[in-house]
Amino acid sequence: MQKIKLIWSAGLCLGVMLLCSACGGSDAPDLGNVTGTITLDGAPLADANVTFMPEKVRASSAKTDSAGKYELVYIRDEKGAALGDHKVVVSKLVNEKETIPPNYSDETELTAVVKSGDNEINFDLSSK
């Protein structure tokens, strides 16, 4: 009888540990909220994809609205981007053709630093 109680207790403890690990929080790194506006030649850049790419964790991305505004999402409903340095890519495909100059898209030179809290990071791009 004592052995059965010991096995049952061990099984219960194991089950609770598994349940607690499954209910654990997100694996997301510390995030900063990132919003901003992207313009191209002084005009708002609508329907462009913006991606912030840190070195070691997943990227965050957003799509600009009609006013060129964006708000980054890390994953699903978690807004923001990992803290630290990022390479930034801005892309907009029209008829499967990139319309953003390569120094902002395929061969981007854009960078940004995300800090704890709220970050407003604007980009004024030029097609020239």
Residue 26: pLDDT band (50, 70, 90) is: low
* Res 46: pLDDT: 98
**Could you tell me the residue ranges of all domains in the chain?**
31-117
Interval 68-120: pLDDT, tens = 999 999 999 899 999 999 999 999 999 999 999 999 999 999 999 999 999 99
User: Averaged over 37-54, what is the pLDDT?
Assistant: 98
Average confidence score pLDDT of the chain: 86
% of the chain beyond a pLDDT of 90:
76
Query: At the topology level of CATH, where does 31-117 sit?
Result: Immunoglobulin-like (2.60.40)
96 Rama class: left (phi>0) / alpha (psi -120 to 50) / beta? left
Task: Find all residues with CB under 8 Å of 95, minimum gap 6, and list them.
Answer: none
